[in-house]
Each structure stands twice: as C-alpha cells, then as structure tokens.
Amino acid sequence: NQWTREARYRPLSDVDPSVYQAMKEEVRTSPWRFSYHIQPPTGLLNDPNGFVYHDGLYHLFYQWFPLGPVHGLKYWYHMTSKDLVHWFDEGAALIPNNDPDSHGAYSGSGFIKDDQVHIMYTGNKRDADWNRHTSQIVGHLRSDGRIEKHLPPAIPNVPEGYTEHFRDPKVFQDASGIWYCIIGAQRSDLTGCTVIYQSQDAEHWTFLGELQTNYSTFGYMWECPDYFELDGKGILLFSPQGIEPDGPNYQNIFQSGYFIGEPLALPDLTFTHESFQELDFGFDFYAPQTTEAADGRRILVGWMGLPDISYPSDIYNWAHALTLPRELTIEQGRLRQRPVRELTQLRKETLFDETILFEQDVTIAEAEIFELVMTDLKLSSDSFRFSIRQDATEETVFHYDAVSRQFTIDRSRSGAEVPAESFGTSRSTILAKDLHTLRLFVDRSSFELFLNDGEAVASGRIFPKTSSRGIVFSGEAGAHLSLYDLS
Ligand code: FRU
C-alpha cells in the first residue's frame, strides 16, 4: 500500500506545482467525472462545510485531501455561487498548517458576523505517539480568499466525560443574538451524543452540556450535527456511526438522519422530539449540512459518498462529489426534500415530453446526463419498472410495487464494478402515499431520486460505460414523462 502515514499527511505545498498541474489534468480527463456536481479537482472530497449565504453569494466549502482518493491531511476547498447551480472554483481556503490543525482542518460550519463570513472548525492534531488532540477554531474569510484563523483555538480541549472524537461544530444564533454551537461527540463510555456551547461574541465559548434526547445509546459516535428551526419546529440532523441494519433501514456503513421536535429553549438542554428518520434511502449519502438562503429557505447539501468505502474511480486519483442542493420543508411532521427550484436552469434540450402507456420494454430515449420527470402515473397492474444507463449488459433499475407501496433501486448491474457490494446492491423504502410523481437527476456517475415531491429521496453512485444510455420503461402503466438533457 503506497498510502503510508507519511504519504497521507504530506502537505500540498511539498508537491511541485507542475506535478499538481499534471495530477489535475489526469483527473480532469478521467472517466466518470461529473457534469453538474461539485467534485474535487484532484484527490478526495468529503463533508460539505461552512455553507453560508452572504452579500449575494453562497459560500460552500468541502473537506479535501488533495493528493489521492484516501482520507489524509484535510483542507477546506472553497466554492461560491450566485444561484446554487453554477459554482465558481475559489481554490483551497483553509490550510492545515498550524500546530492545532497539523493533521487536518476537519469539518465545521459558517456564520455571518460583523458583515463577514466566519467559520468554526475542528483542529485535528496527532502527537508523537499518534494520540489525537481535538480543538475548535474560529476564523474568518479574508478578501484574498483565505481563511484567517483566530488562534489559539476557541475551545482548546475536550471536556471531561468525552473522548477525542469530538468535532464538527455547527454555529447558530438565537433571536436575541446569543451564539451557540453544537458539536458531535463520543462519551467516555463510547456512545454517541452532541454537546452545546454558548457565546456572546462567537469567540469566547462556555460549555453548557449535553443535549438531552430520547436516544441515550444510539451508535458510538455522532458526526456532523446541525440544528435549525423551520415552521416552528426544532430539527437536529446528525450522522450516527455504529447503527445495525433494521429491515430496509440503516443499510449503509454509516447513517444520516434527523430528529424533529419542539424548538430548543436554550440554555435548557432538553430536546423533546420524534424518532430518528433517515434523510436518504440510497447508497451514498453522509454528513449533510444546511444553511438559510437569502429568501429564508432552508437548503441542505450532503456528501454523495461514505467513509471507508472504495469506488471504481479511485484508480484515477479522485473520489466523491457533493449532492445537489435540496430545499427543506416540513409536511405531516416530516422533512420533505425537493431539488432547489434554481436547478431547472440546468435543462438544455427537451428529449421527450409525452403522456405514454408503457408496454413491454419501451425505450423512450437514450441519454447519459439528464433529468427525468414523471407525473400523472396511472397503474393498471401491481407494479412497473424502469431502467437507466442501460445497454445489453448494464442497467440501474427502479421498481415500484403499488400493493406494498415499496420503491426499490437495484444497482447490482449498474456497471462492471459496483461499490460497497458487501452492504447489498439494492435499497428500498415504503412510501406513505401512493407513488404519484418522480424526479430523477442523473450525472455521469450518479443518480438522485425524489419521490412524491420530496417525500423520499435516494442518492447513489453508479459506474456504467458512457455508451450505456437506454431509458427503458415496462409494466402496465401510463404516465406523463419529460426528459431533459443536462449535459
Ligand atoms: C465525517 C468526518 C467528520 C470529520 C471529517 C474529517 O465524514 O469524519 O466527523 O470532521 O469527516 O474529514
């Protein structure tokens, strides 16, 4: 294995610029690169970080290891956008080159203070014995595009009762202007939870304690918490690790979901909430983060990948992408997630727009990178199915059974190589209502499926040949189908 500790913690500044340029060129021209998703120029992307809107621009950073498709020395890479659709590459913004973040500028969030973009993130440091030392660091974005760190760390240590798995601060402010941050933690008894700090100025922080939920033993670590309020409800998002599969639920290596409940009455730490719900029933989704848009919408972006899973594109020295931004609302006490409305700007040519009856295997079109919209579904039998990225040997299959209202995605034949096969090659959900609409975004190596106008969402990576482009419907049913080229 070439990924020795030394190779993983080698800084980008040690690499000759011409070598980095050559790496970028190799990645740029490699297979399975995305057409309209945020992806790393080289190396590995993971969590979305620092997502914030300020002065006409969305700022979205991501965890980045520049030198290969593995987890190593993490930077924050910076993207900006006016519309959540077209993203401008701002380059690396946060460089792990100080003692407290010597082994990585780990995940964190963005906030606006004094009319400036600020961030709070986790400094990851390993000592000579490779013991981890964790701190939380505040910084702000300078006009030259770099983050200036406010050192020493705002929260230099882990409080009594928790291990060094203590990270990913999400900062928010209450109506009276008091700042809070919520941090993902592991208790000394190796169970997961979140803790909350309070501040008057977002620089000096006081430990309040642990958020009290109904889940006192739920996995060994809660990563990437996010708290926000929407429609008079309090919502806690987090990514618990160590949850066993349960029927169709919790099939991936790690999970990501939420509690919905009464708004927090901080500094009181009691959270009254409903049971845990997964955010995405697909194969590749983790560590989402939200922000509030200019017009008050709550927008979520996730990592379309998972820790500890390898992907066929790794051999080309890059890995992963962020999901499309989703707009959150609450309906019937649950989160609904719709693709942000701005995404219709991606639509180029209309390839198909008709009400049709499916018979046996109707190929409605051929496309590689597209959006499919299905409305007015009418079933005259118990089920229907369709395949995308299909040819004689490959297909990714979507199947709906109207009797059980079960929707299933099967990627077992999605390409010559299928990621994470040991975690199963299909995922399913039971819809609360009969299937009536479906929206599917397909990029060169991904799909994102939205059922019943955001009732259920599934994301996944697929690695088909570029020439596998069939979109084939079958079953006794009819619907209106619109297909847009997004390439
Ligand atoms: C989640 C995570 C975070 C951590 C970051 C490091 O994927 O493990 O908890 O801050 O990635 O890259």
Q: Which atom of ligand 1 is nearest to the CA of 286?
A: 7
Please give the pLDDT value at position 359.
82
422 exposure class (CB count in 10 Å sphere: 0-12, 13-18, 19+): exposed
> Which pLDDT does position 360 carry in this prediction?
83
pLDDT, mean of residues 160-165: 98
Distance from CA of residue 340 to its chain's centroid?
Answer: 15
Q: Which pLDDT score is estimated for 221? A: 98
- Start-to-end CA distance of the chain, whole Å, equals 37
* Ligand 1 within 6 A of CB of 318: no
Sole residue written with tokens 């997502």: 51
> What is the overall mean pLDDT for the chain?
97
Residue nearest to atom 12 of ligand 1 (CA): 106
| Percent over 70 (pLDDT), the chain | 100
pLDDT (tens digit, 9 = 90+) per residue, 217-226?
Answer: 999 999 999 9
Q: What pLDDT does 2 receive?
A: 87
pLDDT value of residue 1: 57
Q: Can you tell me whether residue 343 is helix, strand or coil?
A: helix
Indicate the top mutation candidate among 223, 237, 241, 254 to test ligand 1's pocket, ranked by most ligand atoms within 8 A of CB: 223
Catalytic residues: 47
**Statement: residue 209 has pLDDT above 70:** yes
For residue 390, the model assigns a pLDDT of: 98
In order of start, what are the domains of the chain with their CATH numbers?
5-342 (2.115.10.20), 347-485 (2.60.120.560)
Which tens digit of pLDDT belongs to each residue from 91-131?
Answer: 999 999 999 999 999 999 999 999 999 999 999 999 999 99
- How far apart are the C-alpha atoms of 166 and 233, rounded to whole Å? 26
Tell which atom from ligand 1 comes closest to the C-alpha of 307. 7
* Ligand 1: centre distance to CA 230 (Å): 26
The pair of three-digit structure tokens given for residue 37, joined into one six-digit string:
């998703």
| Of 1-5, 63-67, 138-142, 168-172, the least confident | 1-5
How do residues 291-312 score in pLDDT, each as one tens digit? 999 999 999 999 999 999 999 9
Backbone CA torsion sign across 348, 319, 286, 106? negative
Kindly indicate the confidence band of residue 268, based on its pLDDT and cuts at 50, 70 and 90: very high
Q: Of all atoms in ligand 1, which is nearest to the CA of residue 106?
A: 10
Report, as an integer, the average pLDDT of 386-410: 98
Q: Is 74 in the pocket of ligand 1 (CB under 6 A)?
A: yes
Residue 287: CB within 6 Å of ligand 1? Answer: yes
The answer, yes or no, to whether any atom of ligand 1 lies below 6 A from the CB of 307, is: yes
Residue pair 48/290 in contact (Cβ under 8 Å)? The answer is: no
How far is 253 from 221, CA to CA, in rounded Å?
13
